[in-house]
Chains A and B, each alone.
Chain A
């Protein structure tokens, strides 16, 4: 094959494109974080320990406790079936509250506890201040898990 300018152009563009593609997708799998429910996490076996996961659930009422010395936060997360304990070191987001939904990113470890440094909490998309429901502005309640679609 004769090496023409055109093949040269196509070759160099192609090579660069492949390099960039590799950069993006060579590690694509490792850059994905999977979502789980508390039930799924509590059923994890040895080989899942220490992998980064996101767990979506409801913060159990009256479970949030500040650990006195470290000011870490311990709380429990539930999907209605299973309750899992969480230790959180970091800054809880503004909307993190008992009885509300939260997505917790962290590692499930052999001590059967979720160790997290990041919580994503959101008010539901209905964005409903509590006393307004009485005022008659309430929108229909949406599926709870739908409101947890974070990120």
Chain B
């Protein structure tokens, strides 16, 4: 019964989303606010209806209603409650429902928050969001219905894929969707700006925080996916250029480019068409990502059911959205000529230009690498796959370039940098990075990219530190306080800039983590009998015994290992080879021990049936935790940016001209 209520609610949402497209348009045509009000109510009602849909699904999962086909396919009575609920987004149908629910939530929030301040673009916004929602609800109800029943009712469910039975996997998909769908708000505002002809900087200012929110969710989602792959798949890495990872990475790259280039429009009123293009591209890539993962054209742990009908529908919907958005952009681009041209290649504008170029090149690389194999297959050519060397060839130099720009961008003036200002800001960082180069070379870093990467990181770090120290000294002197308070004053003066720098620091931490954990990873794969040991770097890893153990829905062979550093016992690890009993699926459970911000990583991918030996894979990943710590700092910086305190203009113009923030200074010139 419950499930029918949910089904009915979603059907009503389909109808109301159509109402949400039509009524605001009628309201505009007739210049009648009542119609637009109806649209607003439809948006709210849609959220309520889809929430009912979600709630009945969750209820049916919890009460184990296996007469629902989708639940029977993704749940099982022996599953812990936590994963029973998460089964909702463990497959195709449920995750689309989640997608739509998040969209309706965002849409309602946007309409409520901006209703009073943005009355002119509201009808367009409501119509556009409703259009996207309508498309997805059509897909859900006609091609992948999670409410569908089966008969005869199975005794028990088929179980959730064991690889997805993991805490990170419970939060990872909703996070990604919050990111994907979050991009729809700036996208819809951009479209509203295009339709309404209000093409100033307004839509960018309104959507700045929304974009950051989506970016945070996307970043967290990608990072959590990486962490999940790291310990759950047991291969010791966190990024493998898997098409499904790429699907989330592409919108991230473009969203990041967009977050940078909007600053140029805000400050210099340039890049107008470009910004519209970027946000349309970012959201289109979100849709493409959904298409790639959910249509079943890619097979991986993420995509389950294949059904060409769904793929075709999403593709048609995607084509429609692309035509509509890019078409409108081309149609309107004549109105968008910016009067200001780039003054010099040595300026902040130019840095942003190259930043965008690098991000776009990265995106195109991933795009081609991901879709080329699909294309050759569709055209009945030979089946191919594109490997990591292809991606790495581009990503290493692009990443170096981007990090380098991070050291320049915030410190180079707008318009044109003079020789003196360059020297003043970059002499110390350059010297420092030179010293860093020598230091790491002596330390024994011989990999060319690693050495270059670390040198550039030194440059950026020195750039940031020298700038911060200058500002804090300046304000400390001005206000006769200590340097820390000086830094705080500076933060209050320009919180957005500070938040940005914190995100950059996060990137630096992550880069160092990536360099060390990939280049200096050590690996040993050996066969051990109980009592034998293997030496890995300075660690001795001894297998004490192998035995059987059980969990709620699995049995496992577990190895008991002791890790020694010299003669001291530093850890006891118990990796497992599990067998999930319902599905008869084996998995390899990793055991990790944190050592010096790195990990000793242990798996037993193969155990002799009689328990006499185990194949042991031991890895040492130095500084690998920095990858996620860095990610956390990045996200923290972005949060700070969203909830930044209001900028305080405490000082008179006269003093402001003296501020060491180069941007302010140059505007004065």
Contact = CB atoms under 8 A, between A and B. Distances in A.
A16 B357 contact: yes
B159 interface: yes
A126 to B, nearest CB: 8
Interface in A64-122: 71, 90-95, 122
A134 B214 CA distance: 44
A30 B615 CA distance: 33
B343 interface: yes
B318 interface: no
A16 B345 CA distance: 13
A20 B361 contact: yes
B158 A128 contact: yes
B299 A91 contact: no
B394 A130 contact: no
Interface in A1-32: 5-6, 8-9, 12-13, 16-17, 20-21, 23-24, 26-28, 30-32
A149 B615 contact: no
B198 interface: no
Interface string B287-323: 0000000001011100111100000000000000000
Contacts, number: 135
B484 interface: no
A33 B365 contact: no
B357 A13 contact: yes
A119 to B, nearest CB: 11
B385 A151 contact: yes
A71 B394 CA distance: 38
A142 interface: yes
A123 B150 contact: no
Given A20-B398, A151-B243, A95 B585 contact: yes
B363 to A, nearest CB: 12
A6 B345 contact: no
Nearest to B301: A122
B299 A32 contact: no
A12 B351 CA distance: 12
Given A71-B527, A136-B152, A151-B242, A5 B385 contact: no
Contact of B615 (A31, A91, A93): A91
Nearest to B344: A5
A129 B159 contact: yes
B154 interface: yes
Contacts of B386: 31-33
Contacts of A146: 306
What class of interface size applies to chain B in its complex with A?
35 or more
B345 A9 contact: yes
A95 to B, nearest CB: 7
A9 B154 CA distance: 66
What class of interface size applies to chain A in its complex with B?
35 or more
B201 interface: no
Given A9-B345, A91-B617, A17 B585 contact: no
Contact of A24 (B73, B300, B393): B393
A94 B584 contact: no
Interface string B325-354: 000000000000000011111000010011
Nearest to A147: B299
Given A137-B72, A151-B243, A27 B390 contact: yes
B81 interface: no
B384 A34 contact: yes
Contacts of A30: 389
A53 to B, nearest CB: 10
Contacts of A129: 158-159, 582-585
A126 B156 CA distance: 17
Contacts of B155: 135
B342 A5 contact: yes
A135 B154 contact: yes
Contacts of B361: 17, 20-21, 24
Interface in B595-618: 605-606, 615, 617
A5 B394 contact: no
Given A5-B344, A33-B384, A150 B299 contact: yes
Interface in B141-158: 150, 152, 154-158
19 contacts: A5-B345, A20-B358, A20-B398, A27-B389, A31-B393, A32-B384, A35-B383, A92-B606, A125-B306, A127-B304, A129-B158, A129-B159, A129-B585, A130-B584, A132-B159, A136-B152, A137-B73, A146-B306, A149-B299
Interface of B: 72-73, 150, 152, 154-159, 161, 242-243, 296, 298-300, 303-306, 341-345, 350, 353-354, 357-358, 361, 365, 368, 373, 382-387, 389-390, 393-394, 397-398, 525, 527, 582-588, 605-606, 615, 617
Nearest 8 pairs between A and B by C-beta? A35-B383, A129-B583, A31-B390, A24-B394, A91-B605, A135-B154, A94-B586, A32-B384
Given A35-B382, A127-B158, 4 more contacts: A90-B525, A132-B158, A132-B159, A150-B299
